[in-house]
Amino acid sequence: MNVLKLISWELDRVKKSYLILVGILLLLQFGWLGAFLWRQNATYEEMRLEGMTGYTVSFINYIGSTIFTLSVGVAIVAMIFFSVWIWYRDFQGRGMFMMRLLTIPTGRMELFVAKFVTVMMLILGLFAIQWMALFLQYQLFSAWLNAKMIPLQGSFERAIQFDYLAMMYPESGFNFLVHQVLIAFVVLALFTFVLVERGLWQRTLWSPFLAICVVSGLIALPTFLIIYFDRYLFMDEQIGLFGLALIGMVFGLTLLSRRFLSKKMSV
């Protein structure tokens, strides 16, 4: 129950900046869609005057555009930044909110879980908003083109298999779960980095560097193993090894976080 309350407080504090982020992303995308369609209209008219036929527009042209990619990039960077900021935010200023959080009479791991779930929910939130936005954009896109009688090529389903977007539109629920697990792994790694750094920052000036070494060391070892055995294993065995390595790393990272959060954290 405590975790749920902690989550609601975390969300409450991040609400404003999250809405701003979403606002920016939507503005960027819908604004660009307008401009894109307007330009298509202009070029189509031109082509028609010159009598050239066979000009078609595909939704992929829109998705592949730099601005759209930029918006997705911004979202990703924002989330990576936030996975770290959700902790550092509580260390800001002399009045460290972390002091308050650490004196709450429940296990500190509840705090870890709460922040973890908050980040994952925010990421899923962005996914959700992007799904809805893209779907909406396609409706606008096709409606506008039909209205202007510009030939439209390819379906929405086809368009979303466009390289990196396939990550957002996995073919099956299982793939979706795998993607989320991988995202969660990245968030966990970032969390561990922060906690190790915060556990060492009063002990040595090199704490960020040391934290990076510790976390990347913990990740590098299994990765090296996977690469080394790549020569000897087949796809099914490699997946097995990868799964094992992932579980091992998750276990290692969580243990490390727990140790630093409960024993080494220094405010």
Q: Which residues bind other proteins (CB under 8 A)?
A: 2, 4-9, 11-13, 15, 56, 58, 93-97, 99-100, 102-106, 121-122, 124-125, 127-132, 134-135, 138, 153-158, 160-162, 169, 171-175, 178, 202-205, 231-236, 239, 263-267
- Least distance to other proteins from the beta carbon of 75, Å? 13
Q: Which residue has the tokens 């024993």?
A: 263
Q: In the complex with other proteins, which residue's Cβ is closer, 161 or 216?
A: 161
Q: Which helix (H) or strand (E) covers residue 219, if one does?
A: helix 207-229
| Least distance between other proteins and beta carbon 199 (Å) | 8
The minimum distance between CB 109 and other proteins, in angstroms, equals: 14
Q: Which is nearer to other proteins, 40 or 130 (CB)?
A: 130
Q: How far is the CB of 213 from other proteins (least distance, A)?
A: 18
Closest distance to other proteins from the beta carbon of 104 (Å): 4
Closer residue to other proteins, CB minimum distance, 133 or 250: 133
First to last CA, the chain: 26
By beta-carbon proximity to other proteins, the closer residue of 178 and 221 is: 178
Indicate the burial class of 215 (C-beta count within 10 angstroms; 0-12, 13-18, 19 or more): buried
Cβ 170 to other proteins shortest distance, Å: 8
Based on CB atoms, which residue is closest to other proteins, 16 or 49?
A: 16
Do residues 196 and 256 touch, judged by C-beta distance below 8 A?
yes
Give bridge partners of residue 153 from the DSSP assignment: 58
Three-class SS string for 51-111?
CCCCCCEEHHHHHCCHHHHHHHHHHHHHHHHHHHHHHHHHHCCCCCHHHHHHCCCCCHHHH
CB nearer to other proteins: give 20 or 49: 20
CA 217 to chain centre: 23
Helix, strand, or coil (residue 205): coil
Residues in contact with 62: Cβ distance below 8 Å, sequence separation at least 6, in sequence order: 33, 36, 68, 137, 141
